[in-house]
Structure 1
């Protein structure tokens, strides 16, 4: 990702074996001026919480780092070196892969993803003392509760091998603790529709039975569905 990592992640150290970092969207709708095209970049906050110390509600993302598509031509379009994408993370311009960038674009624009927790959303306005930041800030919250997100590529310092190893051991707890696991199969196309149908059929059929159906075989060949931990 670049030389920014040491400063970025040192400013958000993981003090305990059960600490993780969570992403949230910046509340201010401002332009960064750091894009090559002078476009507005999505701004994200990175904050540390402890899974054993009443963390805020958060969602976790399951996705593929590379291209979500088997088609070679489409896969080349997702090559991060020739098609870099950027977000602002705690004030730093950070390069991320296209598939993750496309998810974050959708996540940033879809209230059903960001403001999902019915408990937080139901806090009465006449009790302002209840509207406090779940991470401990005394400021009043936006009327729409903030939703936090765990994404391995940004919440883990990928340049720190020891941290990566320790965070991988926590992943089962992270996904279990999350209020929702968001499965990102890529921008919608026919293969994504097939994959969703395939997963739906697993409610009533075994994996082998679903695989035997020709119209769902393509979906089962999707990168995400072929992950060892899923099958």
Structure 2
């Protein structure tokens, strides 16, 4: 994958990470199927508001084009699909996406940024788990999960993100 975007160095002492501003479709037909985003640095100490994306990277050989700071960047099909599905219609959204927010060509950066991932996901305002595009069985699986969730709630197992505890 040849990418033209040049990452600026993060300040480790400040606990910096990169966040993406995923931009809405601007009406330019040439970019209708190309997610566009900007990237910026922020310190986790400032408690920034963002959505973290959790997804399976997928095969690097099956890649798609996005624009990062107007530079062409290839991403896996799975990430492309997630970005297209999450692409806002009006206002941008701020996201953390590991394969784009971490310089994958810098092993030292990768090492300490991966060590921050638990903090990144914990501080995220929302975490989106991308399971992939829907297929023929998706509706029935989601219906089953909703039914299972309703049964769990009926049994009193709806006490939020805390682990279930017997009283």
Q: Normalising to structure 1: TM-score of the pair?
A: 0.56
The CA deviation string for residues 28-59 of structure 1, in whole angstroms up to 9 with x for no partner, is: 826496x8xxx65221000110000242x100
Which runs of no fewer than 5 residues in structure 1 stay unpaired?
67-78, 112-143, 206-231
Give the CA deviation at 1:191.
Answer: 4.8
Distance 1:15 1:192 in 2: 45
Alignment check: 8 A CA contact 1:24 1:147 kept: yes
Q: Which has the higher strand share?
A: 2
Taking the aligned partners of 2:122 and 2:20, their CA distance within structure 1 comes to 17
8 A Cα contact 1:185 1:192, kept in partner: no
The structure 1 residue matched to 2:95, chosen from 143, 149, 163, is: 149
Larger radius of gyration: 1
**Change in 2 beyond 3 A, CA 1:180/1:4:** same
SS at match of 2:122: helix
SS in 1 for 2:87: helix
Structure 2 regions of 5+ residues with no counterpart?
154-167
What corresponds to 1:23 in structure 2?
A: 20
Q: How does 1:12-51 map to 2 (within 5 A)?
A: 13-17=9-13, 18-26=15-23, 29=26, 31=28, 41-51=34-44
Which of residues 37, 55, 65 in structure 2 aligns to 1:86? Answer: 65
Q: CA RMSD in A?
A: 3.0
Secondary structure of the corresponding residue to residue 42 of structure 2 = strand
In 1, the alpha carbon distance for the partners of 2:147 and 2:17 equals 31
Between the aligned partners of 2:118 and 2:147, the Cα distance in structure 1 is: 23
- Alpha-carbon displacement from aligned partner over 1:46-77 (angstroms, at most 9, x marks no partner): 0110000242x1000111011xxxxxxxxxxx
Residue 132 of structure 2 is aligned with which of 159, 179, 186? 186
1:53 equivalent in alignment to 2:46: yes
Q: How many residue pairs are counted as aligned between the two chains?
A: 150
**CA apart distance, 1:106:** 1.0
Alpha-carbon spacing, 1:3–1:59, altered in 2? closer, same or farther (3 Å): closer
User: Cα–Cα, structure 1 residues 156 and 193, in superposed 2: closer, same or farther, change >3 Å?
Assistant: farther
Secondary structure at 2:131's aligned position in 1? coil
